[in-house]
Amino acid sequence: MVIVLVAIWRRPLVAAVLVASVVPATAGLDRGLVVPELKISEILLVLCLAPLVFRRTARWRRINSIDIALLTVAVTGLALEVANGLNADNLALDMLLRSGLFPAFTFATWWVASRGVSDRRDVDTVLRWVLLVSVVPATLGILQYLDVLGVRAALSSVVDSGLLPEPGGTFSRVTGPFTIAHSFGGYLLVPLIIGAVLLLGSRSSVLGRRALATVVAVDAAALVLSVTITTLLWAVAAFLIAATMVQYLRRALAALVSVALLAGLVFWPALADRWQAQTTPASGTAEGAVPQTFQFRILVWQRDYLPLLAEAAPAGLNIGPGDVVFTSTENQYISLILRGGVVLLLATAASLVVLARRAAHAARVEPEHTSLPAAAIFGILVFLPVACIAWPYVTNAGLPQSLFGVAGAVLAMAGTPPGGHWAPGVATVRR
């Protein structure tokens, strides 16, 4: 711990690297493994934030619209969570960490990553570590599928979930070091799409082409083995949107067709098992054109959550034990309304729009080493509203830590001249 603090104090880039690469990769691990009630990722985020705040007090970077938008969400989310908990006499530390402070952790992720870089070489370093570290969770997911080296048992001991594949059991969707396949896929999307888009360019200062191809192959394999329809469609859409932004659509289409054919051949057993599961009626579902998992979601929404939305709309609602049968909303919009009403929903949506606009601008006007990752971020954000229908990606471990960490580093340097550094400046709003 002391070594980390000293390293960040001497070189703030260390904080940006840790927050953008290690924090997302460990976001799915259990609470209480090191400190009671806290995740390793949260502890590491706070360790990176504290010295960076004091280290940078003499060089505050100018406040921008994304800072303001994310800070607004953080303050709103915490205030409404506390208010709802007090009104219901049910303000628990566990829920405060999971719900109330989650937007604050997201803001801190963005802030540390954006303030930890000072020039474009720093951004390359952050992206390099993001890509390389992603291979570790992805490899764990692949080994989890193969059920070798005791990986399934090891992951079950540090991830609290009944959805992980059991040792010796039949195949089920891999989760890597996360509680559910949706979170694993959300985490993998960011390094996968960034690596794939970087491969479309003429050259990359982040990693060599062979290394990039290796990272993309491993991450893509793990994503396919999570066999989550939402994240698979998301990866395709984000890649094509990003490629269109940087005018590499033909290359992207050719690459996508080749990868799809190869993945279909190599991973056909996993895909076939998932297709059978999607078309086999389960409790509360029937045969039809709609996959049974989405039928089940509709059942949960109608039975448990839609009746609560009118009461929750003004400022959220504290849901107690027994109020609902199925404890997961399976929907980002419902989750946000329950946590903070329409106010929190609109504030969150506005922050994502601001981030998407900044990424789109950088993808259009910046040199290729910035425009390519910025386009990848934009592509992910464009499909996010669709993905949030099926799962609360914005408020669950995986995607937010990965996305906002990378976005903070990449977009921090947008608008600076090639080879330029951020200069000290007064705190003014910058679009």
- Which residues, 6+ apart, have CB-to-CB distance to 144 below 8 Å? 151, 152, 155, 164, 165, 174, 175, 176
Output b/e per residue, 204-215; b: 16+ Cβ within 10 A.
bebbeeebbebb
pLDDT at 417: 55
Residue type at position 146:
L
**If phi over 0 gives left and psi between -120 and 50 gives alpha, with beta otherwise, what is residue 149?**
left
Tokens of 421: 């550094």
Tokens of 326: 């199925």
pLDDT at 144: 94
| DSSP, residue by residue, 128-150 | HHHHHHHHHHHHHHHHHHHT-TT
How many CB atoms are located within 10 Å of the residue 224 CB? 28
Q: State the Cα–Cα distance between residues 192 and 210, nearest whole angstrom.
A: 15
pLDDT at 135: 98
- 0.85 exceeded by the pTM? yes
Q: State the Cα–Cα distance between residues 107 and 233, nearest whole angstrom.
A: 27
Angle 209-225/249-266 helices, nearest 10 degrees? Answer: 50
pLDDT tens digits in sequence order for the chain, 431 residues long = 788 888 888 889 999 999 999 999 999 999 989 998 899 999 999 999 998 888 765 455 778 899 999 999 999 999 998 888 888 777 777 777 778 889 999 999 999 999 999 888 999 999 999 999 999 999 999 999 999 989 999 999 999 877 788 888 776 789 999 999 999 999 999 999 999 999 998 778 899 999 999 999 999 999 999 999 999 999 999 999 999 999 999 999 999 999 999 988 888 887 777 777 666 666 555 555 556 677 888 888 888 888 889 989 998 888 766 778 887 888 999 999 999 999 999 999 999 999 999 999 999 999 888 999 999 999 999 999 999 999 999 999 999 999 999 999 999 877 665 555 544 443 333 44
Cα–Cα separations (whole angstroms), residue 123 to 164, 166, 415? 35, 39, 14
Q: State the Cα–Cα distance between residues 131 and 311, nearest whole angstrom.
A: 44
pLDDT at 190: 97
Angle 120-146/368-387 helices, nearest 10 degrees? Answer: 50
Residue type at position 148:
V
Output b/e per residue, 260-294; b: 16+ Cβ within 10 A.
eeebeeebeebbeebeeeeeeeeeebeeeeebbbb
pLDDT at 415: 65
pLDDT at 428: 36
HSE-up of residue 379 (Cα within 13 Å, Cβ side)? 31
Q: State the Cα–Cα distance between residues 400 and 289, nearest whole angstrom.
A: 32
Question: pLDDT, tens digit, for every residue of 61-76?
Answer: 778 899 999 999 999 9
